Structure 1
């Protein structure tokens, strides 16, 4: 394995954790950036076992100063950045008429502005390496609904942001794409189902079956399946793919 360095945000759990572990097969070093040192250390152990050297950075990417810290520490330890995977960002699922300005701002601060600032901070190193960036969006970008308006609005903004970065990347030699996952069974989704089910007189098992049925899909996706797509996008096999929004959703979106 030649020396190569990836930054993965949101690496403490879910898709971020699965992606960091998957990339350890292809990259020699992985920076793990997220909140929650204990979970990050667990990811780091799995990354090391898979063959890559981890760097744990426990911080909140909503903090304006955080992206520069991630880039500076990565360059200080590894000397380069070849890939950036912006995965961090949980957006509250609250009805359009109930969500406060503070909740809107909080969702934007982490998922949108955190990813934007980090891509800008890492850009000189990515330009030097002719590297690659992946932004995590989501299917709600293309069908926003009132009960989770912020999720759709912020995901749509992320997809548009990725397009803008990809346009600059054509000139600078940096590949940029975005991914729109459908419903994935992460720890956060499990917690949501455990909260939602009793409120609707259902068992957790019934609620878990109901959501895929309502979405018109056979099952939830697994974090590892999205991680495989991420790994493809930052691999040489996808090098001519840029400015693309890729959907992996089990058929949830029915439009062409």
Structure 2
């Protein structure tokens, strides 16, 4: 089913037992008739020959044939056409222009996405219909597309950000005000270290792979957060005032003596300095 105009890669031998195993691309359907597939377009996705591998496939009727497997790529919602592609000119570290490639449409390989979040696999082949091979494409849905608007995450992020700001600022203020003057930096560092311990707990749980369902894992984190909230609430209820160090530094800097100056000592010191100069 590969057109005769495809004369590169393993199609040079015209061996029908071998599947095409070279570069392909999907391009957003363009109104340009001269260059329908432009490599410099933002909606151009290509698979090079070193990104594919061949695999033997067994059909439902027991027949065996060779297939070429291409990997997954992130594609924006649009209507696309797939092409056999050959680069006449390559640029090191760059992308060739539309004039420097040969793009031959893959018959029957047109698809359209209008949603996001889905993962799909395409199988493209040929079937015998009325003694003539016809292209056949099947779309297999691996992960369904999103059915909830992603913008609904904005209120959650606002609440999380506000909670983080309130918790961090008040925690640092409490650590600073309750610590002795010589320990303020150390106590604030220990307060920030609790964040690191929380991250370590999450890493350990993730590495142990304790949950097979991600939703259950997230609810477990929420349950742990509820336990921590309860502990903090109890600490706040039974909180008592520690030693107040807030005025200690100011007192040390502004303290004065209640005594009086010794005038005779000052005069004697001045006489000695005068005698030394003479």
Question: Does TM, normalized by the shorter one, top 0.5?
Answer: no
Which has more helix, going by share of residues? 1
Which has more strand, going by share of residues? 2
- TM-score category of the 2 structures, normalised to the smaller one: under 0.3
* Bigger Rg, which one: 2
Q: TM-score normalised to the size of structure 2? A: 0.20
Q: TM-score normalised to the size of structure 1? A: 0.22
